[in-house]
Structure 1
Amino acid sequence: MGQNATTNANSFLVCGLGHLGQYCVSVLKEFGAKVNAIDIANIQKWEIPDLPDLVEKLVIGDCRQLKILEQGGIRQCRAILIVTSDERVNIAAAFAARSLNPDVRLVIRSAQENLNELLSENLGNFVAFEATQLPAKSFALAALSSETRGFFTLENRFLRVVRVHIDVSHRWNSRRQVDEINNANRRILAHTRAGKPLPKAFYQWQPDARILPGDTIAYIEAKENLVTHSARPVKSIRQFWATVITQMRWQNLQQRLTELWEESSQTRRVAFVGGIFMVSLFLCGTLLYKLQYPNISLQDALNVALVLSLGGYDNLFGQLQLSFAIPWWLHLFSISLTVAGTVFVGILYALMTERVLAARFQFSRRRPPVPKADHVVLIGLGRVGQRVAQLLQELKQPLVGVHATELEPGVLSQMPLIVGNIRNCLSRVNITTAKSVIVVTDDEVANLEIGLRAHAANPTANLVIRTFDPRFSENVARLLPYARVLGAYALAAEAFAAAAFGENILNLFSLNKQTTLVTEYQIETDDTLNDKLLAEIAYGYGVVPILHTKVGHQSPKFMPSDDIKLAVGDRLVVLATIEGLQRVERGTLTTGQWFVRVEKANSSEAAFEGAAVISRVSGCDMQLARTLMNQLPATLQHPLYKHQAHRLVSELSKSQVIAHIISP
């Protein structure tokens, strides 16, 4: 939630100054926070060179110890970020911190989803992230040549962030203004003319601009509900039996049997045929014994046939002299039934053995072959690399992994894998025909070298390089404009830091070369968002509202209208950059500078409706709006944001009221 405006607490504690911890300190300082830190040992090499100057107080010791936490100022802290590389240490430190400060916000690094839920219920004011999972999606999407820049789910709806290049054949070309693309399921994020730099903030596009060839448009859209629709219930008994009869037609049955036969192994086919043959012999034996010996019951006839089918010939004919007369042909049939039953039991044993061995030695199956072309080459399969591989497999992307050592059995078993010296493996992954190369080893210098080798072998492939040092990242990005240079921990640190201020970070993605966070707010009484129109929040703070749930209502509204005023208990999900979150945190709301001049209304009904529109869109008092409409022509003395003013003019025109925007 947004921080209360009356709260002055601005002190944070970071435990663990590895890659992630150092970046968390850096991002927190961008918020203007006071940051103390705890680490188990003196840092010999800082990933961020000037970081020692950013830390107010550095304590050396075990963050699980109460006295160490007290030295770090835990009792005065607003939040503690526990981001060591050991999850057990993180969880233990979280309990210690809660015992010393019942109100401190706990932000920890942990991948134990089930345990995290239990900890959240018991510790309260708690959030946990896995540092490798947060940025993995950015790496996966950067390697794709598709227009998708991010995707996530909200309330069981799929949301997709898209950046599309407009050409002469595109349906939006020269036919629409930018703001006309917005609808109930879509919001514009950016509009860039050909050759112009990418915008660094939202709403830097002109709502009345015409879409031209060469433009680039980024937007977010909410897709269909992800719940699988169940089959419609049968309305009547008659319809039920009609459905059963339809499905039991010979054509359907024949098709199902054909599919089953084609998908079965050789052993299963033999067992299937043998089963049909044995059932036939069993029924035939029952019938023959019943006809030959009319005095026995049907149950006795079935029992004789069953004993013979299970190899029980000696139970009936093992005596030296039989106690009953039997024709030679029935005696021969009985022998044949016993032999066939013995063979069928052997087949069943073979089938069971096959299944057991398949389960026992499943780990030894050979991996799929390396794709020939249009695939992604993923180099480095540590925690980040494995998560990227899982995402690419979910996206149905052809993929081959390269790693220095063999993976554990069962890890990414459906992915082609090349093991060995990475520098020497590029020739074995069809690098010249690959569409993308992702280099995510733990050595950023090696990543650069491998990336250069890959680009030399295939200059047309998308190249994504993982880095750690921010200065190194900037230099590589400047010297290699064809590569996407992403800092894994830098991406994750923004989510950790934002969560420390109370925001619930649902997801993140990279758009226009900067991180965008999907952030959830629960509105409270003294919140910086309370009692404000969504238009003020969107344009004043520079965030994009994508979901709003009104207090007391269950159904959320996607892409909500700018006219909604937030109240205590409402839920709001927005897209925001780290700068946007800072403005919300500080309550730094920029004011509108645009005015609307209303010229005339075509009728008294239009004047009445126009006053309602003005009050609803601008948020001004209804009396002010009615006074304005009674004194036309007049200017609305209520400053608006440009996009808000443009929408007001558009809504007034629909009500037969003529108005225009006055520049500041």
Structure 2
Amino acid sequence: AARRLARARRRRRPLTVLLRAVRSFATRKIGIAVITLLAVIGVLGWLNGRATHANWGDSLYLTLVTTLSGQDPDPNKPVAQQVMQVVLNLAGLALIPLITAVVVDGIVNARLALHSGRIQPERSRHVVVVGLGNVGTRVMAQLCDFGVEVVAIDKVPEPRGAALARRLGVPLIVGDAALEETLQAASVGTCQALVVVSTDDETNLQAALNGRAVNPELQVVLRLFDGHFAERVQQAFGIGISRSVSYLAAPSFAAALLDRAVIATIPVGRHALLVTEVSVAAGSSLDGRPVAAVGRAESVRLLAHARAGQRLDWAPDPRLVIVAGDRLTVVARRAGLNALLREAAPPPPEDPAAPAPRQPEE
């Protein structure tokens, strides 16, 4: 899908790309100077034609020859014609270096624009991904796998995902995503979603708000570090989804430290659900109880059950008795998972130093 999109982009709207390149060919100041000078030459040429009583073709010819070559001096001409000829000669002297400046400046600007991705055809229904770090690169790759057209933005010319973006044919715009002109270059006004996943919270928030300013109906996925701040931003600004990476990753890190086999972490609202596998130890509270005893309302849900050395059963009988060595695949919240782990753990060893229970007296 990514290769098809890359080929389609090369064939799509070549005239639009050419017009954008021409528009970025020269700077604004040089363009104004050239237009002003051409206007002066045009007015003087019209006056010269009126003075010589020439038609528009002869007047254009005389104006161009006088401006570019400065020839045909004639002291017998009227004073008005001599003044206009001198002014045209001076304008011609100024026009040659301006043309040179326009050509040089245009070539430099066009190469810089092509390198930074500013010359892009208008797009629609694409997804703009801001930040090509670890998270942004994976998001970009998965969207391309799904056949979704992607435009990437990063303030670093060679971010971590630049090589993959080139391989997938994803345009990379180098610039500050917090600036509205950078978002405009990525056609945020016509995209279907804006995914802001850089490592700078301030830039992420500014990019999301500027994207909403350009397109009030824009769907925004926002990455923020602090979980409480992400919740407040989502409620205050109406951001579609705001996620704290540290908040979502904390359960996985904690589970890894405790040697839990965490399969996946699923964000639901402001909470994270853990998909994990729990082994039942001999003598535990779950040993000998039915499978139905595993589930808890709004806390733990059993997904699959497997005997030791056997494959997972994704629809176990609730009356099936759990034995030591069974593996339970569950989706649970952190509190529910902790309670389940305590029930699946072996009983604590007896303390030999503890006093023996007293025998009843006869």
Residue 437 (structure 1) shift: 0.7
1:585 maps to 2:341: yes
Alpha carbons of structure 1 residues 399 and 382: separation in structure 2 relative to 1, 3 Å: same
Please identify which structure carries the higher strand content. 1
The residue number in structure 2 matching 1:470 is: 227
From 484, 489, 511, the equivalent of 2:246 is 489
Residue 527 (structure 1) shift: 4.1
- CA RMSD, 1 decimal: 2.8
- Write out aligned runs for 1:182-581 (5 A): 372-407=123-158, 410-413=163-166, 414=168, 415-422=170-177, 423=179, 424-539=181-296, 542-553=299-310, 555-581=311-337
Query: How far, CA to CA, are the matches of 1:463 and 1:540 in structure 2?
Result: 32
Residue 481 (structure 1) shift: 3.2
Note the residue ranges of structure 1 that are not aligned, 5 or more in a row: 1-363, 589-664
Residue 487 (structure 1) shift: 0.5
Q: Give the TM-score of the pair, scaled to structure 1.
A: 0.31
Alpha carbons of structure 1 residues 486 and 371: separation in structure 2 relative to 1, 3 Å: farther
Query: How far, CA to CA, are the matches of 1:528 and 1:378 in structure 2?
Result: 49
Query: How far, CA to CA, are the matches of 1:541 and 1:440 in structure 2?
Result: 31
On the 8 A contact 1:541/1:583 being kept in 2, the answer is no
Query: How far, CA to CA, are the matches of 1:406 and 1:467 in structure 2?
Result: 23
Query: How far, CA to CA, are the matches of 1:432 and 1:399 in structure 2?
Result: 14
Alpha carbons of structure 1 residues 405 and 546: separation in structure 2 relative to 1, 3 Å: same
Residue 562 (structure 1) shift: 2.3
Residue 528 (structure 1) shift: 4.8
Q: What is the identity percentage for the equivalent residue pairs of Structure 1 and Structure 2?
A: 27
Residue 518 (structure 1) shift: 1.1
Deviations 1:30-83 (A, max 9, x none): xxxxxxxxxxxxxxxxxxxxxxxxxxxxxxxxxxxxxxxxxxxxxxxxxxxxxx
Residue 532 (structure 1) shift: 2.8
Residue 446 (structure 1) shift: 1.6
Q: Give the TM-score of the pair, scaled to structure 2.
A: 0.56
On the 8 A contact 1:545/1:573 being kept in 2, the answer is yes
Instruction: Kindly provide the amino acid, as one letter, of the partner of residue 445 in structure 1.
Output: E
What SS does structure 1 have at the residue aligned with 2:165? coil
Residue 451 (structure 1) shift: 0.6
Query: How far, CA to CA, are the matches of 1:426 and 1:499 in structure 2?
Result: 39
On the 8 A contact 1:370/1:416 being kept in 2, the answer is no
Note the residue ranges of structure 2 that are not aligned, 5 or more in a row: 1-113, 345-362
Deviations 1:239-264 (A, max 9, x none): xxxxxxxxxxxxxxxxxxxxxxxxxx
Residue 482 (structure 1) shift: 3.6
Query: How far, CA to CA, are the matches of 1:437 and 1:428 in structure 2?
Result: 13
On the 8 A contact 1:521/1:573 being kept in 2, the answer is yes
Instruction: Kindly provide the amino acid, as one letter, of the partner of residue 458 in structure 1.
Output: N
What SS does structure 2 have at the residue aligned with 1:390? helix
The residue number in structure 1 matching 2:20 is: none
Residue 499 (structure 1) shift: 2.8
Alpha carbons of structure 1 residues 382 and 370: separation in structure 2 relative to 1, 3 Å: farther
Residue 488 (structure 1) shift: 0.8
Number of equivalences: 224
What SS does structure 1 have at the residue aligned with 2:294? helix
On the 8 A contact 1:524/1:569 being kept in 2, the answer is yes
Deviations 1:301-333 (A, max 9, x none): xxxxxxxxxxxxxxxxxxxxxxxxxxxxxxxxx
On the 8 A contact 2:231/2:270 being kept in 1, the answer is no
Query: How far, CA to CA, are the matches of 1:545 and 1:558 in structure 2?
Result: 9
Please identify which structure carries the higher helix content. 2
Residue 541 (structure 1) shift: 8.2
Query: With CA pairs under 8 Å and 6+ residues apart, which has the higher RCO, 1 or 2?
Result: 1
